[in-house]
Amino acid sequence: MSNDILLKVEDLRLYFRTTKGVLRAVDGVSFELARDRAMVIVGESGCGKTSLARAILRLLPRNVHTYSGQVHLDGTEVMALNEEQFRRQVRWVKMSFVPQAAMNALNPVVRVGDQVAEPLLIHNHVKSKKEAMGRVEEALRLVGVPLDFMTRYAFELSGGMRQRVIIAMALVTSPVLVILDEPTSALDVLTQANIMNSLKRIRKELALTYILITHDIATSSELANESMVMYAGQVAERSHAGGFYKTPFHPYSKMLMASVPTLREDKELAFIPGKPPSLINPPEGCRFAPRCPERFSKCDQDPPAVTMEDGRVVKCWLYTGKAR
Amino acid sequence: MMESKQNGTLLQVRDLHTWFELRKFGFLRIGFVRAVDGVNFDLEEGEAFAIVGESGCGKSTLARTVLGLYKPTQGEVLFQGRSLQELGKAYHSQVGYVQQDPYGALPPFMSVKRILEEPLIINKALPSKEARLARIEEVLEEVRLIPVKDIIGKFPHMLSGGQQQRVVIARATILKPKLIVADEPVSMLDASVRVEILKLLRELQEAHRLGVIYITHDLSTIRYFSERIFVMYAAKFVEKAKVHELIHNPLHPYTQALLEALPDPEPENAETFRNVPPGEPPSLVRPPQGCRFHPRCTQVIQGLCDQQVPPEFEPEPEHFVSCWLYRDGQGN
């Protein structure tokens, strides 16, 4: 792994206040991501993937209970910045976001071109509208939207084209890090493959760093250099892509991989019995233990994050003796 | 599934068309959306087959037409040799419908017990209250919503997505139908729950010898479920074959593209590009002349594919494909 770390997250926590108590959506997540790499975050719905993205981007709802930890981006500790500094210096300047199901969130009464230009104008990247439109054209060309679509409205575009427009909005300010939250989950297979192709090409051309959040493991392999499995607000396993897809370590990752239907090879599908724990008052000890086939007495205590020989990190008692 | 042949055909669909009128100002007819445009198939008793296609290709309309929810514009659906008009209301207790979004399909203010009791009352299947309750408990156990006592009084919002879908399946099977139409039954569920639900449907199908039409856009789940696959593109079937045959030897260029677009979880994927055709499916209001896939097809034959609609060829036994590439009876 290269030493050029772009993003370093340490012990990030995001708790929400709810009527039933404190919900620990992100509970002590740490990872680092090198420049020009793509990391996928996988996990079941409700495991805190999207909350993690929002915590990194500081796009928070009003009912935040705790928001702590450190996020180093490109050498700056961004958690120390105040709201205005963060908005001016980081969000959409250094990192941008493609939210989930965003293609339905385009403004129906603003032309596509003007909408893509919006982040540029708001963040004062450009002096004139004309310059902005030049950058918009560039961004749309990158994602493969025909330029005559600039004067159209969102409802005149198909789902795939709208999703491309949303990706263009994330690219137009030339960020270094793009967080993609389920960018293709609502799309058809062929469209999805086309957009994945575009994302790969863009990453090579612009030397971007991606974080891809998805629950679709087969599709996630399209972009992954590295992978992170989340379970109940915590990181279960962090690994290079080859390790995760070929030989997952954590019992949860193993079961997750076994439940992925594959097209070409014959395998008996397994499923994970039970359901994830509530994030309000999660169980003591390992959070996966109640569903885990390999649990033993130690699992009543919270397992440490074990760093393995090849740099993989597994939060499981099974591997404590095998640390490097 | 060899024995199924002896029992005869459950469902015959002949030259089915379902078109929707497009109107302007509420009365000017300006065209039709040809959602289903000339579809033929037979379903044997106890057989499961899958219909695959992208969204907007008409697969849900086909499902609803088969269920008798839409009236076909042309053509007919025969259930055990009798037309749907002839069967009338009696048909409804013979078919079950498993919807895509379980939460949207369950009435929010009804308990599980009422949801399941309603079809029994409406169809006058069981006259006594006790018999109905017994049947409800039996079905809940079958879909493994146990302990039944805990589940029966709950409302849909108190159940997880997987449990909700089990209630939907229980409702679809409570009248002991012969045919189940499952329209994307797992696409709204989490990956870990999908397999569970598919296995459950498969078990029910085998235990009760149900005919199942499984509609999906996800080719990778089909192998675990059905014997045959029909690939649908722009309101027509383009290829029909056995599952193994279709996955390992796809003939139609569209099927080939679909398979190419589907990744298996391999780390090498990140380094390679997928060879998929650009563009999007055509409008069903004015579909392209000739083969509907020809504007996106890489192997298009000028003067033929863009002029004439390809008929169904059978280049290999029981493997049908609507593509001019196979006009000599053999593939290339």
Question: What's the whole-number mean pLDDT along residues B144-156?
Answer: 91
Cβ atoms B252, B332 nearer than 8 A: no
Interface confidence, given as ipTM, is 0.80
Check if the beta carbon of residue B232 is closer than 8 Å to that of residue B50: no
Assess if residue B87 is contained within a domain. Answer: yes
pLDDT of amino acid B97: 94
Q: Answer yes or no: is B312 within a domain.
A: no
Confirm or reject contact between B270 and chain A (CB < 8 A): yes
Residues B125 and B250 in one domain: no
Flag whether B88 is in a domain.
Answer: yes
Supply the pLDDT for residue A197. Answer: 92
pLDDT of B226: 82
For position B3, what pLDDT does the model report?
41
Mean pLDDT of chain B: 88
- CATH number 3.40.50.280 given to A5-94+175-322: no
d(CA B124, CA B327): 53
User: What is the average per-residue pLDDT within B253-272?
Assistant: 88
Domain with B185, as residue range(s), is: 1-94+177-264+280-287
Q: Are residues B17 and B138 in the same domain?
A: no
> pLDDT band for position B330 (50/70/90)?
low
Q: What's the pLDDT band for B5 if we cut at 50, 70, 90?
A: very low
Lowest mean pLDDT among A15-29, B99-113, B163-177, B218-232: B218-232
Contacts of A246 in chain B (CB under 8 A): 267
Whether B249 is covered by a domain: the verdict is yes
Note the pLDDT tens digit of each residue in A188-210: 888 889 999 999 999 989 999 99
Inside any domain, residue B238 = yes
**Is it the case that residue B224 has pLDDT exceeding 80?**
no
Per residue in A282-318, is it b (16+ CB within 10 Å) or e — as a string? beebbbbbebbeebeeebeeebebbebeeebbbbbbb
Q: Is residue B54 part of a domain?
A: yes
Give yes or no for residue B192 having a pLDDT over 60. yes
Environment class of A147 (CB within 10 Å of its CB; exposed 0-12, middle 13-18, buried 19+): exposed
Same domain flag for B44 and B182: yes
Determine which of B164, B184, B187, B192 to mutate to test the interface with A (most A C-beta atoms within 10 Å): B192
Q: Which range, of A96-100, A124-128, B136-140, B262-266, averages the lowest pLDDT? A: A124-128
Tally the C-alpha atoms within 13 A of residue A261's C-alpha that lie toward its C-beta.
20
pLDDT tens profile A208-264: 999 999 988 888 999 999 999 999 999 999 999 989 999 999 999 999 888 888 887
Placement of tokens 């839409």 in the chain: B70
Residue with tokens 């982040």: A119
Q: Cα separation of A255 and B195, whole Å?
A: 12
Give the pLDDT score at A227: 94
Chain B residue closest to A192 (CA)? Answer: B261
Residue B1: the pLDDT is 39
CATH number for the domain that contains residue B58: 3.40.50.300
Q: Which residues of A touch B262 (CB under 8 A)?
A: 189, 193, 218, 263
Number of domains in chain B: 2
B101 interface with A at CB cutoff 8 Å: no
Nearby residues of B124 by Cβ (< 8 Å), 6 or more positions away: none
List the domain boundaries for chain A.
5-94+175-322
Same domain for B128 and B259: no
- The answer to whether B262 faces chain A, any CB pair under 8 Å, is yes
How far is the CA of B278 from the CAs of A73, A189, A191, B289, in angstroms?
36, 12, 8, 19
Query: Which domain-ending residue is among B175, B197, B223?
Result: B175
- My answer on whether B188 and B73 are in the same domain is yes
- Put simply, whether B108 touches A (Cβ < 8 Å) is no
CA angle, A226 then A230 then A234, to 5°: 120
Average pLDDT over residues B295-300: 90
Using a CB-CB cut-off of 8 Å, the residues of chain A touching B283 are none
| pLDDT band for position B143 (cuts 50, 70, 90) | very high
Categorize the per-residue pLDDT at A96 as very low, low, confident or very high, splitting at 50, 70 and 90.
very high
Give residue-wise pLDDT tens across range A53-71: 999 999 998 999 999 999 9
The verdict on B146 touching A (C-beta cutoff 8 Å) is: no
Query: What is the pLDDT at residue A66?
Result: 93
**Residue B332: predicted pLDDT:** 45
Mean pLDDT of chain A: 89
Interface test with A, best of B214, B238, B269 (most A CBs within 10 A): B269
Higher pLDDT, A105 or A73: A73
Q: Is A215 on the interface with B (CB under 8 A)?
A: yes
Binned at pLDDT 50, 70 and 90, residue A324 comes out as low
pLDDT at B329 over 80: no
Best of A263, A264, A272 to disrupt the B interface (most B CBs within 10 Å) is A263
Average pLDDT over residues B7-12: 84
Of A196, A269, A275, the CB nearest to B195: A269
pLDDT score of A249: 93
Q: What is the pLDDT of residue B4?
A: 40
Same domain, residue pair B167 and B73:
no
Q: Are residue B169 and residue B24 in the same domain, yes or no?
A: no
Question: What's the CA gap between A38 and B270, in Å, rounded?
Answer: 9
* Partner-chain residue, chosen from A225, A242, A263, that has the shortest CB–CB distance to B259: A263
Per mean pLDDT, which range of A108-122, A234-248, B18-32 is the poorest? B18-32
Residues B90 and B182 in one domain: yes
**What's the pLDDT band for A75 if we cut at 50, 70, 90?**
confident
User: Does residue B55 belong to any structural domain of this protein?
Assistant: yes
Per-residue pLDDT at A1: 43
Chain A nearest C-alpha distance from B19 (Å) = 22
Chain B: nearest CA to A82, how far in angstroms?
A: 37
- Residues B25, B156, single domain; the answer is no
Best of A187, A271, A288 to disrupt the B interface by mutation (most B CBs within 10 Å)? A271
Q: Inform me whether the pLDDT recorded for B331 exceeds 60.
A: no
A246 in contact with B, Cβ within 8 Å: yes
Last residue of a domain, one of B175, B194, B219: B175
Euclidean distance between CA atoms A37 and B60, whole angstroms: 40
pLDDT of residue A283: 85
pLDDT of residue B7: 58
Alpha-carbon distance of A185 to A189, in angstroms, equals 9
Quick one: tokens of B37?
């445009």
**With contacts defined as CB-CB under 8 Å, which chain A residues touch B224?**
261, 269
